[in-house]
Amino acid sequence: MKKRLSIFLVLLLIFTIVGCSPKSETPQEPDGLQEPQEVSKQGGTILLSTTTSTEDSGLLNFLLPKFKEDTGIEVKVIAVGTGQALQMGKDGEADILLVHAKESEVEFVEEGYGIERKDVMYNDFILVGPKEDPLGLKDKSPDNILEGLKVIEGEKFTFVSRGDDSGTHKKELNIWKSADIKPEGDWYLEVGQGMGDVLKITNEKQGYTITDRATYLSMKDDLDLDIIIEGDENLFNQYGIIPVNPEVLGDKANQINQEDAKEFMNWIVSEKGQSLIKEFGIEEYGQPLFIPNAQ
């Protein structure tokens, strides 16, 4: 009995020690955590101030989802005239600009408001007007915009101007100046509208206007307007991209998402971004609406 009692006490002691020892189980994940999974791209948000022509053409609706897919960065768009877009940059109300008035863009950067400027793409401006072309400009000057404007002014025929300090408006005014004409009078309508609305007004008035080719092609099925003059070197239309420089904005500097803005610039001038621009419009219009030319 003493021997059995001794054995029993030894076993009891062993079980007690084992029971009080820390368990060597694999640590459990806290409630709510799952096995590690592939981390999705996450980025911030940038505000892109750009022209109505890039929006009206549909280009941004084509590009921006692909940029977000690649980077996780969301791009919010404000489409205004180039003059207003540049002012938004100066006021710290946009992170990056995509505009088309190169002289003004270079000045913007030289004044310190832009970090740098890069060419992105180009297309061209065209003169559009009534399909019957009442002034006969297709025959008189099919590739000479200066002569065409001289006829329009001479006949005091309706011409619709954007009148909004946009890139297109700046180009139009430069062309009038090159033709040595100061347009004014009841025949010259300054409407202060974006390109799409100007084309609609021109269609209603059955007048003439200068437009970028992309916006016209995107709307031509709903317009009773034809291309009247094209191919003149005065009608070249270059687009550039400029990240806003926060260092000159003082208290507004913290509003600028400089890092993601640079990411967008680098993406749109990259091989992929340029390839996407090159293919945009071919399927629907049989030709690209913009020609990429980033260096």
Residues 6+ apart with CB under 8 A from 49: 78, 80, 84, 85, 88, 89, 93, 94, 96, 97, 98, 99
Residue type, 100: H
| Backbone φ/ψ region at 229: left (φ over 0), alpha (ψ -120 to 50), beta | beta
CATH architecture of 45-122+238-292: 3-Layer(aba) Sandwich (3.40)
Q: Is the pTM of this model over 0.85?
A: no
Nearest to 152 by CA among 195, 202, 102: 202
How do the residues of the chain divide into helix, strand and coil, expressed in percent and rounded to 5? Answer: 45, 20, 35
The answer to whether domain 45-122+238-292 and domain 124-235 are alike in fold is: yes
Is there a contact between 127 and 229 (Cβ–Cβ < 8 Å)?
yes
**Cα distances (Å, whole numbers) of residue 37 to 18, 28, 31, 41, 73:** 38, 17, 16, 13, 21
| Backbone φ/ψ region at 5: left (φ over 0), alpha (ψ -120 to 50), beta | alpha
| Backbone φ/ψ region at 80: left (φ over 0), alpha (ψ -120 to 50), beta | beta
CA–CA dist 54, 48 (Å, integer): 11
Assigned CATH topology for domain 124-235? D-Maltodextrin-Binding Protein; domain 2 (3.40.190)
Dihedral (Cα; 286, 206, 146, 51), 10-degree rounding: -60
Residue type, 55: E
Is there a contact between 168 and 211 (Cβ–Cβ < 8 Å)?
yes
* Tokens found for residue 257: 């998402």
Sketch the domain layout of the chain as residue ranges: 45-122+238-292, 124-235
Would you write out the chain's pLDDT as a tens digit for each of its 295 residues? 444 444 444 444 444 444 444 433 433 433 443 333 333 455 799 999 999 888 889 999 999 999 999 999 999 999 998 999 999 999 999 999 999 999 999 999 999 999 999 999 999 999 999 999 999 999 999 999 999 999 999 999 999 999 998 889 999 999 999 999 999 999 999 999 999 999 999 999 999 999 999 999 999 999 999 999 999 999 999 999 999 999 999 988 889 999 999 999 999 999 999 999 999 999 998 989 999 999 7
